[in-house]
Chain A
C-alpha cells in the first residue's frame, strides 16, 4: 500500500496574479479594451481634478456672510449659514428638540424591528403602530402642554421625512388589504381592488397631488377645512398604497400554495391564516421590495414643492431667491443631492443586502 505524498501547493505564474496580472486581465485584455481604458483614464484626468478643486480645495468653508466667499471655488458658507433652516424649515429653533426626539425614538423603533436578533418584536411593532403616532403627533404639532407649531412652519428635511414616513405608514396596511382584495376569489373585492390599483398606478403623482389639493376641499362638507399638509399626505398615501399592493401581491404569489392549504387543514379561518401564517412570510420576502418602494417615495416627496409645501428641495430652492446670497444654486443643488443620495444609496444597499440574505436574488 502506497502512502501518498501530496504535491506541494505552488504559487501561480507571476503574469497571472498580482497587480500586473490583474491589470492584464481587467484593463488591457484586448486591443479594444486597452483603447477604452486609455480613453476613460483621459476623461477622468481631464474632468475630475477641476471638480475636486471647485468642491474642496478652492472652496470657502468659514465665515458667515457673503463676503466670506472670495475664492473661485464653492461657497459652502451659504449652506452652513442656512443649514438649520434646510433641516427644520420654519420650525421655531427653541422647539427643535421636539423634532429630534421624535425622530430618534422612531429610529430606535425601526432599528429594533429590522435587526435580526432583537426580542419581543411583536410588542415593539404594536407600540410603533398604536402608541408612537400619538407621541409623534404631540411632539411635532403640539398639545399636552407643548406649544402648537402649525404645519405651514414645517419644512426642510424634517418635512421630507415626515411625508415619506407617514405616507409609508398608511400605505402599508392599505396596500395589504388591496393585495388581498386583488387575489380574492370573490369578484367584487377583486374588481374594486384592481380598479383602485390601476387608477393610482396609471397617473402621475403630480395629478394626484393636484387632485388632493384642489378637489379634496370640494369633497368635504362646507366648513371642513383640511390642512394643506394633510391633503398632500392623503394623496401620497393613496398613491403609494397602490404600488405597495403590487409589491405585496408579488410576495403572496411567491408563497407556496401549500401554506394556505396547511392552514386550512388545521381549521384556521381566513383572517387567522392570513395574520398568523401567510402575511408574516409574504411580507418578510418582500421587505427588499418595500424598501425600494420607500426609496421611490422618498424621491417623490420633492413633488410637494409644486403644491406649495416646503420640503428639503423647495426650501433650498427658495433660499436661492435671497438677495444676500444670489448665484449659489450649484452649491445648493449639490448639497441637496448629497443628502438625498446618502439616504437613497444607503437604503438601496440595505435592500440589496436583504435580498442576498433572503436568497431572492439570482443564482449564477
Chain B
C-alpha cells in the first residue's frame, strides 16, 4: 500500500450526490434512519460499520437498486424517484462494483465491457471495443479480453468488473465491499486500481473493511451503525480521535 497521501479533492462547489432525510424500511424493519449526506464532485468517501448497519443498502439506494420510502436523493441535480427517465439518466452516470463481481458468464471479458455502451449509449461496436481495451489496459489485463469470466481468477474478475463500469464513463463510482470475496493475495491488485482511480479525481463511494485503503485515499470516512450515520470525519481525525463511543468500540474491534 502506497504511503504517499493522495491529493485532497478539488474545492469546487459542484455537488455530485445529495441525500436529505432519507429513511428506508424493509417491511416493518427500519433499516435506514434519517440519512443526510452531501458528496462533492471528486470526493472519495469510505463508509464503514458493523455488519448489518445498512451501509450496503445505503449505496444501493443511490442507483435505485433499492427504493427509499421517505426523504430525497439527488444525483447530478436529478431527483431519484419513480420516474424511469430519471433513473436511467442517473444509472448512466453511476458505476457500481459488486462484492460478487457479477460478471456475465456467457460473454467474454470484452463483450462484458461492450454490452452496455452498445445497448445503452448506442455506440458503434468498434468504438465500444476501443474504449473497452483502453480500460482493460488501465486495469492491467488487456490480454484476457477474449477469455470468459470463469477462466479468470477472482482478482482479475473484479478488475474486469471495474473496467466494465468505467466503460460507461461515469462520473461517480460506487464500490460495495469490492475486496471482501477475494483471496488475500489478490486484494492488493484491486486496491491498486481503485487508488489509481482516486488519483484521477473520480468521485468514489466505497463500502469496505480495508482501513489501510481508507487512510490512504479517503477525503472523508463515514461510520454507520444500526441504520444511522454516527460519525463522519477526515481519516486522520476519524482514526486517531473518534468522537462517539460507538465509533470507538468499532475501531477497537477492527484495528
Interface residues of A (CB under 8 A from B): 1-4, 6-7, 9-13, 16-17
Is B248 in contact with chain A by the CB < 8 A criterion?
yes
Contact of A6 among B27, B226, B243 (CB under 8 A): B226
Taken residue by residue from 16 to 50, chain B's Cβ proximity to chain A (1 for < 8 Å, 0 otherwise) reads as 00000001010110100110000000000000000
- Taking the closest CB of chain B, its distance from the CB of A156, in whole angstroms, is 49
- Taking the closest CB of chain A, its distance from the CB of B245, in whole angstroms, is 5
On chain A, the residues within 8 Å of B28 by CB distance are 11-12, 17
Interface residues of B (CB under 8 A from A): 23, 25, 27-28, 30, 33-34, 69-70, 225-228, 230, 243-246, 248
Cβ–Cβ contact A7 & B227, under 8 A? yes
Cβ–Cβ contact B245 & A4, under 8 A? yes
- Taking the closest CB of chain B, its distance from the CB of A28, in whole angstroms, is 14
Bound-complex Cα distance A57 to B69 (A): 47
Cβ–Cβ contact B228 & A1, under 8 A? no
On chain A, the residues within 8 Å of B227 by CB distance are 7
Bound-complex Cα distance A11 to B29 (A): 8
Bound-complex Cα distance A1 to B226 (A): 19
Cβ–Cβ contact A2 & B30, under 8 A? no
Cβ–Cβ contact B248 & A9, under 8 A? no
Cβ–Cβ contact B23 & A1, under 8 A? no
On chain A, the residues within 8 Å of B228 by CB distance are 6-7
- Taking the closest CB of chain A, its distance from the CB of B120, in whole angstroms, is 23
On chain B, the residues within 8 Å of A9 by CB distance are 30, 33
On chain A, the residues within 8 Å of B246 by CB distance are 4
Bound-complex Cα distance A13 to B71 (A): 11
Cβ–Cβ contact A4 & B25, under 8 A? no
Residue of A nearest to B247 (CB): A4
Contact of B30 among A1, A3, A10 (CB under 8 A): A10
Residue contacts A-B, CB under 8 angstroms, 21 given: A1-B243, A1-B244, A1-B248, A2-B245, A3-B245, A4-B225, A4-B230, A6-B226, A6-B228, A7-B33, A7-B34, A7-B227, A7-B228, A9-B33, A10-B23, A10-B33, A13-B25, A16-B25, A16-B69, A17-B27, A17-B28
- Taking the closest CB of chain B, its distance from the CB of A259, in whole angstroms, is 25
Residue of B nearest to A13 (CB): B69
Beyond the given pairs A6-B228, A7-B34, A7-B227, 16 more chain A to chain B contacts, judged by CB atoms under 8 angstroms and listed by A's residue number, are A1-B243, A1-B244, A2-B243, A3-B244, A4-B244, A4-B245, A4-B246, A6-B226, A7-B33, A9-B30, A9-B33, A12-B25, A12-B30, A13-B25, A13-B70, A17-B27
- Taking the closest CB of chain B, its distance from the CB of A171, in whole angstroms, is 37
On chain B, the residues within 8 Å of A1 by CB distance are 243-245, 248
Residue of B nearest to A7 (CB): B33
Bound-complex Cα distance A11 to B70 (A): 11
- Taking the closest CB of chain A, its distance from the CB of B250, in whole angstroms, is 11
On chain B, the residues within 8 Å of A16 by CB distance are 25, 69
Residue of B nearest to A12 (CB): B25
On chain B, the residues within 8 Å of A11 by CB distance are 28
- Taking the closest CB of chain A, its distance from the CB of B161, in whole angstroms, is 20
Residue of B nearest to A6 (CB): B226
Known: A6-B228, A7-B227. A12 touches B69 (CB 8 A): yes
Residue of B nearest to A11 (CB): B28
Bound-complex Cα distance A3 to B228 (A): 14
Bound-complex Cα distance A2 to B243 (A): 6
On chain A, the residues within 8 Å of B226 by CB distance are 6
By Cβ-Cβ distance, the 9 closest A-B pairs, closest first, are A12-B25, A7-B33, A9-B30, A4-B244, A2-B244, A4-B246, A7-B228, A3-B245, A2-B243
